[in-house]
Structure 1
Amino acid sequence: MEFKTDKNKMIAGLLVIIIIVIAFKNNSQREVHVISSEKESLQEKVQSEQETSEYDREPEEVAARIKVYVSGEVKNYGVIEMSRDARLVDAVEKLGGLTEYADVNRVNLAQRLEDGGHYIVPKIGENIDVQNEYQMQSNGANDEDNAKIDINTADAIRLKELPGIGDAIAQRIIEYREQNGKFKSIDQIKNVSGIGDKKFEGIRDMIRVE
């Protein structure tokens, strides 16, 4: 009798274990199914929102940009990128502002910028045809002559773009035209101290007079 009782207990125990295993397995399958369904539902929702967003979204407008060269009496001269509706005062501010020597009465800070334009802020007392330089640099002309530097209007920064012309000689060129008037021909630049025949030959094809 005791043997049968123990056997029955073992069978009952095994049945309980089997029932527990089956129940756990079924529950796990239901959880996996629920998770899978929720995941699919979430993916469908995200996809739907993306499709809706693509239809509703307006094309982004890219602001037009231009590049200009500002030199002269600004704290940091150079080529900068600006918005197409910007004015000279905006470019000057971006370059750190004016120096204490800037002649604000001879430059129109309210003028609109033109792509490829060269804007010069003159020094007080400096004899330079600012307006002529603006027009020359901003008209977009690409011919070879306009690519040359006008020694009658160029500032020191522009003059130093010429090979062999440093701060001292650039200043002498400016002082020469202030004292003697505009150069009548490019050969006259040899009258400036420091510019001999050899240096002139190196720059003659890069300069012009108006």
Structure 2
Amino acid sequence: MKKMMVVLFFVLLLCSRYQFVDMSQYESKTKSIEVKGAIQAPGVYEVDAHASVEDILKKAQGCLDNADTSSLNLSLDLPDESVLVIPEIKETALISINSASEEELDSLPGVGPAIAKRIVAYRMEKPFQSLEEIKEVKGIGDAMYAKIQNMICL
């Protein structure tokens, strides 16, 4: 019983020394976010502490026409002093299967030097009349055609 009284005494002593403090008065009401990339007005913006990416983009006057927002989470709450980079859509030139060099054809996914040579040899005999005709080249099937069809032209 004495031990219990001693423990109780120390618990009361410790509890009486500490006071709870409301930390909300010390929380920042705003945050700074740097916005750069394909944006109308790049810069550092002071926004509400819980502003989403969408709110920040509105403050920066929106994205440019060539902005790639497909990977952005518009509801994300970024931490203070973050950097938000808006990427640009990269336009790639199409490769002509009727006039491209072997090196250009070799840059296509799945097409190596051997298949590039076969494409050039095929078109020397008969130029391609349609994109699907490239599947007649040995080594190019439906799967490879699906990978390259948006990267080639006649």
TM surpasses 0.5: no
Structure label with greater radius of gyration: 1
| Short-chain TM bin | 0.3 to 0.5
Tell me the TM-score normalized by structure 1: 0.30
Relative to total residues, which structure has the larger helix share, 1 or 2? 1
RCO greater where, 1 or 2, for CA within 8 Å and sep 6 or more?
Answer: 2
Relative to total residues, which structure has the larger strand share, 1 or 2? 2
Tell me the TM-score normalized by structure 2: 0.40
